[in-house]
């Protein structure tokens, strides 16, 4: 496994490899867990060689966010990736990515505006910029992102389409703990007590999804079913709910109750806080099975 | 010569060619003149195959600018490029470049802020976006831009450096009419009377350059030497001068009179209007020859 922090090295390796091998990239911020490893395995199924990037990207964190405390267990990460048969790990320094005088950014596509875009101003500008840069340095045929960051995957897909970047964006299913919590590097921030309460997110999505399958036609009911589980501010609920919405799964904009929608057009998305830890999760809704 | 309006065709051709040939791209808005042809010849000297793109990019024009009347003599352009031995012309439609729902843009680097950036808000956002898209579709080793659009060349160089785009930006000297007017597609807008007055730009740059070579140390004197030639508002001068400045040739910011500068750090830049036609020109300044 080649481990490099040098963009020129990384590009040279990829260029020489892509001449006869199909390369997939899995962009990460490190602190790897089973969710990341599932992306790596999916990338291996889609390509001949897998590259993983590890970079805690400062431009996607707002000043008050958790950049400083974000976990960086690089030795553990490299050992895990070695075991997965990854061909190259690209782990650049901040200075290699944002040298003095750096000033070009990507203005993200429209799908970046609602939800995380509203709550985390500048977040997707940072995400788009680093992802575009990674795709220039590692000209892979395919990149694998996790569905857990649902809006991020839509934003990257729209950017790649708009900017004609020659890469396919594959979105892999969310991996969960046995009790339902979506895997996230931020889960390690949770105290035992918060960890127990964190299940309200997946329970809320279960409840919403169940109602949709039972052909509930009221979007307000689908959303209030989530809040019933999230119990914001209650001792057994989330400390704060940033959003818990059912929206169009392509645009992430609200669907008019009056127009004819199918549950399969919709996605339920949640962002909630437990203490100072912010968790997100989502679920694609499905229409009721056809009955004869 | 392959002529295509299809991004997939253009990319396929370039990918198959770059496997064993070095490709150079010359991005243009068409209405080709000897200046463009000099870029094509320079590209030929730098690479095995030359691609020319022709696209009048709407996002780099402000609403009040000359997008609608910008000349589009595509048959003449193609004939000229055929004679130059160009391998491919990529001439996409507006819809291929900006399909419905298009919404991702490049936020340009800092060097885009002064001068044209101030006077043409959004101009470099449009330039950076189309150039980035062209570089994704036509993954050439080198791109040739003209020095006539000096700030544009600096902006593209900074964008390419910041975003890690694997292409070299070559900047080719300005080509002039025998009487000194810098060649531009917009020169064809000039009436005979305006064409005569348009020489004030190159005369102003001559005067400034001459003074610098004579070791004039006052930046104000260098700039006023230009205004003496431009004669804004006078019957024999430019109708309006947007700017006529001597600035740092890398940042385009004013140089402090108090600090130690060399003329070879400086560039003189002019934007002036004759009737409704806006012309730009520039000159790199040179220090006086060393004397013993």
Q: Give the CATH number for residue A245.
A: 3.30.1300.10
Which of A96, A164, A167 is best to mutate for the B interface (most B CBs within 10 A)? Answer: A164
Residue at B177 is within a domain: no
Interface of A with B (CB under 8 A): 7, 11, 19, 101-111, 125, 128-129, 132-133, 136-137, 139, 158-159, 162-166
Is residue B178 a part of any domain in this protein? no
Higher pLDDT, B291 or B229: B229
Residue B288's pLDDT is: 85
Q: How confident is the model at residue A69 (pLDDT cuts 50, 70, 90)?
A: very high
Q: What is the pLDDT of residues B74-115, one digit of tens each?
A: 999 999 999 999 999 999 999 999 999 999 999 999 999 999
- Do B193 and B145 belong together in one domain? no
CA distances from B280 to A216, A258, B140 (A): 64, 55, 28
Residue-level pLDDT at A144: 98
Predicted pLDDT of residue B257: 84
Residues A232 and A156 in one domain: no
What is the pLDDT, as a whole number, of residue A179? 98
Q: Is B271 in a helix, a strand, or coil? A: strand
Q: How far apart are CA A54 and CA B67, in angstroms?
A: 44
Give the model confidence (pLDDT) of B183-237 as tens digits: 999 999 999 999 999 999 999 999 999 999 999 999 999 999 999 999 999 999 9
Tens of pLDDT, residues A198-249? 999 999 999 999 999 999 999 999 999 999 999 999 999 999 999 999 999 9
Measuring CA to CA, which residue among A163, A6, A133 is closest to residue B159?
A133
Cβ contacts of B170 within 8 Å, gap of 6 or more = B42, B43, B46, B142, B143, B144, B145
- The CA distance from A197 to A190, in Å, is 10
Within a domain: residue B159? yes
Partner-chain contact A109 B103, CB within 8 Å? yes
Say yes or no to pLDDT of B259 above 90: no
Contact: A106, B109; criterion CB under 8 Å: no
Tell me if B151 is assigned to some domain: yes
ipTM of the complex: 0.96
B228-262: b or e for each residue (b if 16 or more CB lie within 10 Å)? ebbbeeeeebbbebbbbbbbebebbeebeeeeebe
B166, closest residue in chain A (CA to CA): A136
The answer to whether the CB atoms of A163 and B104 lie below 8 A apart is yes
State the CB neighbour count (10 A cutoff) for residue B94: 12
Give the nearest chain A residue to B124 (CA atoms): A104
Mean pLDDT, range A49-74, rounded to an integer: 96
Instruction: For residue A221, give both structure tokens.
Output: 């009911």
Same domain, A31 and A133: yes
The reply to whether A154 and A253 lie within a common domain is: no
Residue B95's closest chain A neighbor by CA?
A: A162
Question: Based on the domain organization, do B30 and B143 belong to the same domain?
Answer: yes
Cα B252 to Cα B270: distance, rounded to the nearest angstrom? 12
- Residues of chain B with Cβ-Cβ distance to A139 below 8 Å are 139, 166
Which residue in the set A104, A162, A166 is minimally distant from B107, CB to CB? A104
Asked if A139 and A208 sit in the same domain, the reply is no
Q: Residue B88: give its domain's CATH number.
A: 3.40.50.620
Q: Are residues B114 and B227 in the same domain?
A: no
B contact set with A (CB within 8 A): 7, 11, 19, 101-111, 125, 128-129, 132-133, 136-137, 139, 158-159, 162-166
| B288: Cα separation from own chain's centroid | 27
**B167: pLDDT strictly greater than 90:** yes
Instruction: Determine, yes or no, domain membership for A91.
Output: yes
Residue B161 lies in a domain: yes
Give contacts of B164 with chain A, Cβ < 8 Å.
7, 11, 133, 136-137
Query: What is the sign of the dihedral through the CA atoms of A36, A40, A41 and A43?
Result: positive
Q: Do B110 and A101 touch (CB under 8 A)?
A: yes
Question: β-pairing, B277-284 with B266-274?
Answer: antiparallel
pLDDT digits (tens, 9 = 90+) for A40-53: 999 999 999 999 99
Indicate the number of domains in chain B: 2
Could you read off the pLDDT of A117-169 as tens digits, one per residue?
999 999 999 999 999 999 999 999 999 999 999 999 999 999 999 999 999 99
Same domain for B76 and B151?
A: yes
Question: Least CB-CB distance to A104: which of B104, B163, B166?
Answer: B163
> Which of B135, B164, B169, B251 to mutate to probe the A interface, most A CBs <10 Å?
B164
Note whether B205 and B156 are same-domain residues. Answer: no
Using one digit for the tens of pLDDT, what is the confidence trace for B6-54? 999 999 999 999 989 999 999 999 999 999 999 999 999 999 999 999 9
CA distance A280 to B141: 42
Given an 8 Å threshold on Cβ–Cβ distance, is B104 in contact with A159?
A: yes
Same domain for B198 and B239, yes or no, is yes
pLDDT at residue B143 is higher than 80? yes
Most A CBs within 10 A among B104, B124, B157, hence the mutation to make, goes to: B104
- How does DSSP assign chain A, residue by residue? -EEE--HHHHHHHHHHHHTTS-EEEEEE-S---HHHHHHHHHHHHHSSEEEEEE---GGGS-TTSSTTTS---HHHHHHHHHHTT-SEEE---HHHHS-TT---EEE--GGGSSTHHHHSTTHHHHHHHHHHHHHHHS--SEEEEETTSHHHHHHHHHHHHHTT---EEEEEPPPB-TTSPBP-GGGGG--HHHHHHTHHHHHHHHHHHHHHHTT---HHHHHHHHHHHH-TTSTTS-SEEEEEEEEETTT-PBPPTTS---GGGEEEEEEEEETTEEEEEEEE--PPPP--
Could you tell me if A8 and A152 lie in one domain? yes
Q: Which residues of A touch B166 (CB under 8 A)?
A: 11, 136, 139
- Å between A89 CA and nearest CA of chain B: 18
Q: Do residues B12 and B114 both lie within one domain?
A: yes
Of the three residues B124, B140, B172, the one that is the final residue of a domain is: B172
Q: Which residue, of A131, A146, A172, is where some domain finishes?
A: A172
Confidence band for A292, pLDDT divided at 50, 70 and 90 = low
Asked if pLDDT for residue B292 goes beyond 80, the answer is no
Nearest residue, CB atoms, B105 vs list A7, A107, A164: A107
* Pairwise CB contact (< 8 Å): B128 & A166: no
Residue A289 lies in a domain: no
Range of the domain at B37: 2-172
What DSSP designation does B69 have?
T
Go through chain A and tell me how many residues it has: 292
Closest by CA to B267, choosing from B188, B176, B171, B180, is B171
Q: What is the pLDDT of residue A64?
A: 92
What mean pLDDT, rounded, does chain A reach?
Answer: 96
B119, B137, B172 — which closes off a domain? B172
Residue A179 lies in a domain: no
């Amino acid at each position: 496994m080649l481990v490099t922090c040098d963009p020129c090295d990384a590009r040279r390796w990829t260029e020489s490899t892509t001449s006869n091998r199909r390369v997939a990239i899995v962009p990460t911020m490190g602190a790897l867990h089973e969710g990341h490893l599932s992306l790596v395995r999916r990338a291996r199924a889609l390509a001949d060689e897998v590259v993983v990037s590890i970079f805690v990207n400062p431009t996607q964190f707002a000043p008050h966010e958790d950049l400083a405390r974000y976990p960086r267990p690089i030795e553990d990460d490299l050992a895990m990736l070695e075991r997965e048969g990854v061909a190259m790990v690209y782990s650049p320094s901040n200075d290699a990515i944002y040298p003095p005088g750096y000033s070009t950014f990507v203005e993200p596509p429209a799908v970046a505006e609602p939800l995380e875009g509203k709550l985390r101003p500048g977040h997707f500008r940072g995400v788009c910029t680093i992802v575009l840069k990674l795709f220039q340095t590692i000209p892979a045929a395919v990149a694998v992102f996790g569905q857990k960051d649902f809006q991020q995957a839509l934003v990257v897909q729209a950017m790649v389409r708009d900017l004609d970047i020659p890469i396919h964006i594959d979105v892999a299913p969310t991996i969960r703990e046995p009790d339902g919590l979506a895997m996230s590097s931020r889960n390690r921030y949770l105290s035992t007590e918060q960890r127990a309460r964190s299940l309200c997110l997946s329970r809320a999505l279960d409840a919403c999804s169940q109602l949709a399958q039972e052909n509930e036609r009221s979007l307000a009911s689908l959303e209030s079913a989530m809040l019933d589980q999230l119990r914001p501010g209650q001792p057994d609920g989330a400390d704060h709910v940033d959003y818990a919405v059912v929206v169009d799964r392509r645009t992430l904009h609200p669907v008019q109750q009056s127009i004819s929608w199918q549950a399969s057009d919709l996605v339920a998305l949640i962002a909630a806080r437990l203490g100072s830890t912010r968790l997100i999760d989502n679920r694609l809704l499905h229409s009721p099975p056809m009955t004869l």
